[in-house]
Chains A and B, each alone.
Chain A
Amino acid sequence: MAATERHIGRRRERAEPAPARQRVVGDPVPGAVVDFRSVSKKYPSGDLGLEDATFAVHPGEFVFLVGSTGSGKSTIMRLLIKEIDPTYGSIAVAGRDLSEITRRKIPYYRRNLGVVFQDFKLLPNRTVHDNVAYALQVTGGSRRDVRQKVPDILRLTGLSTKLHSFPDLLSGGEQQRVSVARAFVNHPPLLLADEPTGNLDPETSVGIMQLLYRINRTGTTVVVATHDKAMVDRMRRRVIEVSRGRIVRDERVGGYTGGESTREFGALWREGLQ
């Protein structure tokens, strides 16, 4: 697990002093990575995406966001990557109020997030290596950066042999691994995964969940959205359940230790599949 340790090191290097906090609406939770305060989102069509949602996610947490289709999970994800803005309430990520980020600054904000999508969203014209490298190049990473970090992260995600394959030649599980590698190559403090196993068969999904857990163990906060309620109940993690735009449950299920190994975590997930 040498690769993992190197990533922990890099994350520490990157840690910068948090920007000055502004206490405006309600009571922000100090030190939270994600801080939702009375957030509502009404779509122009009149659909209610989210209603009065308040929750906070702390550094290093592994959080499941559950709910059936259309419950508001994706709205939360889209709010977090600032694809949409809330109608009411305020969202802060790492102490930074999202409403203060102008359209021009959004790309810079997104570089602090790793995002994994259900449909992978890989660039079809680039090899696995180049897809991951793009996330570095976007931030102005030099060729040396790319040479150093990309092979490393691909080893961590188990893709070393697929370096020069194009995404359409990979299986779904492998594509999702590339997507995770791309999300994590910048060592973001927060990793969002929107139904990362939604398009994958159960056995492959174990691998992806293990990978996300491994990343979480490096100190990265991970938020995973999924519709599989039965599954997350077994995982002994924090679960936030949304239903019809409201948060109906926010609790730690079972003895939350956070100390189990990746193998144990994977075993739990596999159990849930049966």
Chain B
Amino acid sequence: MRFGFFVREALRALRRNAAPSFAAVATVLVTVLVLGVFIPVVQATTGAANEIRAKVLVDVYLVPDATQTDIDRVRRIVEDETPGVGRVEFISKQEAIRAERKAGRGDFYELLGSNPLPDLLRVTPERPEAIVEVRDSLAPMSPSGTRTVIDASIDEVQDRKENTDKILSATRVVKLTMGLLAGLLALASLLLVANTIRLSVYARRREVEVMKLVGATDWFIRWPFVIEGVLVGALGGIAAILLLAVVKVSLVDPLAADFALIAAPETMNFGLLVALLLGAAVGVSALGSGLTLRRFLRV
């Protein structure tokens, strides 16, 4: 009986304050719509950036006459004693030349008669930024400014410096901007929805005062407002999500086959996104109206 009464009260309030209620629903709708578009975009962009960053590598070339013992030793040094190393891949001379042949450059090597390619340890750092650490510990900078390798069997340590720097700084900027935008947008949505709800509650502050004077307890007054907030959030949220679903099915899905960015594997699945947006819309609306009321309940 109690709950039914509160729901009826909330519905009455929505009906009798049609204009502010509509404004609140519309605000939630627009906000959820924008967030619903933006969140996957941010994720796809970050995913793409991460994919590029994964291409940051250190190549450790061994001297041409390195024996199997040398290889094992260097490999142990790299794997166990070097900080920041993620994955190590050994590419032997034979494998290297096979790869070259496959790439169609075999004729060139035939001409040479022998295999000029060195054995290679391809190191993927555990984080893209750790590449500096890996390089510095395998080939520390000497006081004279040149690099010396730490093991006689290592010929050269290459980190394709220019590429690495470009990739690192470019993706950092992208990730940072996207993160910042996402944060700002979330904050703006929160304030916008909370404020709209606040206004619609504020318009009824005198009513709340009268209720208090008649002897209503705080929660007796608050429940209908909270339920009203839930309804506003749910209505706006559901409408926005329906629109998003229509756009996804009719526009994005057909494109996903052709554009890697849209099909980026790290994009959240649609169900989770829907649940998150709906939860946030309902939560913010209900909390907003419940909290705003506090001020007017002090009679």
Contact = CB atoms under 8 A, between A and B. Distances in A.
Interface of A: 81, 83, 104, 107-111, 113, 115, 117, 121-126, 134-135, 137-140, 142-143, 182
A125 B215 contact: no
B213 A138 contact: no
Contacts of B220: 107, 138
B211 A123 contact: yes
Contacts of B299: 83
B87 to A, nearest CB: 63
Given A108-B217, A122-B210, A138-B215, 14 more contacts: A81-B213, A107-B215, A107-B216, A107-B217, A107-B218, A107-B220, A108-B215, A110-B213, A111-B215, A121-B209, A123-B210, A124-B207, A126-B12, A143-B1
B5 interface: yes
Interface string B211-234: 111111110100000000000000
B12 A121 contact: no
Interface string B182-216: 00000000000000000000001001011111111
A107 B220 CA distance: 10
B1 A142 contact: yes
Contacts of A121: 209-210, 213
Interface string B139-168: 000000000000000000000000000000
B295 interface: no
9 contacts: A81-B213, A109-B215, A122-B210, A125-B12, A125-B13, A125-B16, A125-B207, A143-B1, A182-B214
A140 to B, nearest CB: 8
Interface of B: 1-2, 5, 12-13, 16-17, 204, 207, 209-218, 220, 299
B215 A123 contact: no
Nearest to A113: B215
Contacts of A123: 207, 210-211
Given A125-B207, A137-B5, A107 B212 contact: yes
Nearest to A110: B215
Contacts of A135: 214-215
**What DSSP secondary structure best describes chain B's contact surface?**
helix
A110 B210 contact: no
A117 B216 CA distance: 17
B10 to A, nearest CB: 12
Contacts of B217: 104, 107-108, 138
Nearest to B12: A125
A138 B216 contact: yes
Contacts of B214: 110, 134-135, 138, 182
A45 to B, nearest CB: 18
Nearest to A135: B214
B207 to A, nearest CB: 6
A123 B205 CA distance: 11
Contacts of A143: 1
Q: 6 tightest CB-CB pairs across the interface, nearest first?
A: A110-B215, A111-B215, A125-B16, A107-B217, A138-B216, A121-B210
Given A83-B299, A123-B207, A139 B16 contact: no
A126 B211 CA distance: 12
Contacts of B13: 125
A242 B126 CA distance: 84
A142 B218 CA distance: 19
Contacts of A110: 213-215
A126 B214 CA distance: 14
A123 B214 CA distance: 11
B165 to A, nearest CB: 64
A137 B299 CA distance: 19
A125 B211 CA distance: 12
**Residue of A110, A117, A138 most packed against chain B (CB within 10 A):** A138
Contacts of B218: 107
A115 B224 CA distance: 24
Contact of B17 (A104, A122, A125, A138): A125
A15 to B, nearest CB: 19
B26 to A, nearest CB: 21
Nearest to A138: B216
A138 B5 CA distance: 11
A107 B215 CA distance: 4
A48 B12 CA distance: 43
A109 B204 CA distance: 24
**Residue of A81, A107, A142 most packed against chain B (CB within 10 A):** A107
B126 to A, nearest CB: 57
